Structure 1
Amino acid sequence: MRDFSSSHEWLSMNTATVRKQWQLPQIIDECARRGIRAISPWRDQVAAAGLQATRRQLKEHGMQLSGYCRGGFYTAADQAGLAVALDDNRRAIDEAKTLDAACLVLVVGSLPGALSGKPQYTDIARARNEVRDGIAASLEYAREVGMPLAIEPLHPMQAAERACINTLEHALDLCDALDPGQTGMLGVAMDVYHCWWDPKLEQQIARAGDAEHTRLLAYHVCDWLTPTRDLLNDRGMMGDGVVELKKIRGWVEQAGFAGFAEVEIFSERDWWQRPGGEVLDTCVARHKSAV
């Protein structure tokens, strides 16, 4: 297991962590100023800053992308909607490739319309079939372009609105079905916020791979607060909650993951209310002490 205590060279910042304080260009500059050498930006932030401008700025700082957020949301009420989703995912793959991201993270979607409170159907089995077919179609294009896709399983509390893949086991089952040769083009983005509770977590992480071949393409860290006041936007800073972060990272690294620990914190009541510099500085310190 790598020693993070004296360096933050393997820290990446998911730009959602300071999205309420800064626009993307300033996030990149502030990360670079602190020696944070990787980020994972969101598509709306890149669109606001400009794709080519973002690419240039990243290159100027010598900064890498641990991932790109996000593709997915494959489900729809009709064939026209499914086609729109596939087209949007193709654009996301192209953007990720332009920025030389390590992977495109897929938040796969679930009951269409549920996010706005008006689900257009309630058949979650249908949603899972549409997700499987959508990933299979995107994978064909991703292979042509050379952009790995990372399925992110989300906590079951988000099974209706955001993702109907809710365990690492389910995500790995899809990987095995769609990419049986384990080509490196389809894997998982494992976020501890969504997976820490799973009684099969250690077993499924071990299943994900080894030093030669691993399905683990991205690793996201934060903490689970007790009590959690908002299930979407009350993530904790590492070390402030109950997740056994070092133990889980040990499992992840034994399964062949050797990339960045990406901090992704949605925190409406706390960290989004603080100065951005304080947030980044705390992330650096907790990466060394808690991750």
Structure 2
Amino acid sequence: MVEALQLPEFIFNEATIREKWGLEPFLEGCAQRGLSRASLWGDEIEKVGLREARRMLSRTGVSTFGFNRAGPLLGTEGAGRAESLDRARRAVDMAAELSADHVLVFSGGLPHGSRDLAAARGEVEETIGMLLDHARSVGMTLALEPLHPMVAGDRAVILTLGHANRLCDQLGDGIGIVADAYHIWWDERLEVELARAGSAGRILGFHVSDWLVPTKHVLRDRGMMGDGIIDLAGMWRQVQRAGYAGPIEIEIFSDRWWGEDPDLVLDTALARCRNIFSGGMITS
């Protein structure tokens, strides 16, 4: 059997340029670069309306890959658990209307005033189970995205691939994992847990940016690929060995890059990725 190399598919997450571009210029920018898929955000869809968003997608020929997001499910000021779950269900419905491949689940951090991380994890696991019932009913796949432990206080209680894998094992079909290099590069069990997720066919996406040293802000100071210390090419090989054959998604939350011309950001990111991932994909 002969193995051949080909470049991976690259796509953009709308967050990478959302400070200067709305939905339509973003989709046009993707289409102009020959990209046929993109990951979108619900708040940007709401600015133009679902019908108009679908028209933009159709006109540009770009389809929805990931949809951000269902949640937060915890720690929502002024909103009870039932209200948070109902809002998450509406996000799942919107993702289904946009024919997204998957919808990201955003757990949220510890509820205001709480120090009980174990209880928060238990609550979010139960809530995700209820959300999954709804997602199955509309044919939408949920995606768990473990976030970096530094955001446990205010953004997430699912912090490792191991936790995400255990929860997927518990909940069954219709739920998978997105591996974001920025959040999981430090994990000593990274390759083991990627292989575990891959053996179950549950890796839904692979997100890239870079970890800068020093990092000025844990949310808004992600690096352009190649500017930091993550072995992105090595992680991509691990993700491929685990069986993932989907796109590499560029998602950069960065005050520095948000201040640049969006065309420059897209072109720089694509050039960096083509260089870093020039080893391509192994196909049989």
1:146 equivalent to 2:139? Answer: yes
Asked if the contact 2:206–2:249 (Cα under 8 Å) also holds between the matched residues in 1, the reply is yes
1:187 equivalent to 2:176? Answer: yes
Q: Distance in 1 between matches of 2:67 and 2:236?
A: 21
Asked if the contact 1:77–1:120 (Cα under 8 Å) also holds between the matched residues in 2, the reply is no
Counting matched residue pairs gives 275
What SS class does the counterpart of residue 139 from structure 1 fall into? helix
Aligned to 1:262: 249
Asked if the contact 1:222–1:237 (Cα under 8 Å) also holds between the matched residues in 2, the reply is yes
State the AA in 1 paired with 2:115: T
Aligned to 1:248: 235
| TM-score of the aligned structures, taking structure 2 as reference length | 0.92
Q: 1:29 to 1:166 in 2, by over 3 A?
A: same
1:70 equivalent to 2:63? Answer: no
Asked if the contact 1:25–1:49 (Cα under 8 Å) also holds between the matched residues in 2, the reply is no
Aligned to 1:221: 208
Q: 1:152 to 1:2 in 2, by over 3 A?
A: farther
Aligned to 1:230: 217
Q: Distance in 2 between matches of 1:34 and 1:177?
A: 41
Aligned to 2:191: 202
1:275 equivalent to 2:237? Answer: no
| TM-score of the aligned structures, taking structure 1 as reference length | 0.90
Aligned to 2:280: none
Instruction: Report Cα offsets for 1:90-121 as digits up to 9, x if no partner.
Output: 10110000111110001211212xxxxxx232
Q: Distance in 2 between matches of 1:165 and 1:50?
A: 31
State the AA in 1 paired with 2:272: R
Instruction: Report Cα offsets for 1:62-105 as digits up to 9, x if no partner.
Output: 21222001113212589970100110111011000011111000
What SS class does the counterpart of residue 188 from structure 2 fall into? coil
What SS class does the counterpart of residue 41 from structure 1 fall into? strand
Q: Report 1:1-40 matches (<5 A).
A: 3=5, 5=7, 10-40=9-39
Cα offset for 1:287? 1.8
Q: Distance in 1 between matches of 2:5 and 2:17?
A: 26
User: What root-mean-square deviation, in Å, do the aligned CA atoms of Structure 1 and Structure 2 show?
Assistant: 1.9
Q: Distance in 2 between matches of 1:65 and 1:127?
A: 31
Structure 1 residue runs of 5 or longer lacking an equivalent are: 113-118
Asked if the contact 1:167–1:195 (Cα under 8 Å) also holds between the matched residues in 2, the reply is yes
Question: Identity, % of aligned pairs?
Answer: 44
Aligned to 1:284: 270
Q: 1:287 to 1:80 in 2, by over 3 A?
A: closer
Aligned to 1:124: 117
Asked if the contact 1:66–1:262 (Cα under 8 Å) also holds between the matched residues in 2, the reply is no
Asked if the contact 1:151–1:189 (Cα under 8 Å) also holds between the matched residues in 2, the reply is yes
Q: Distance in 2 between matches of 1:237 and 1:78?
A: 33
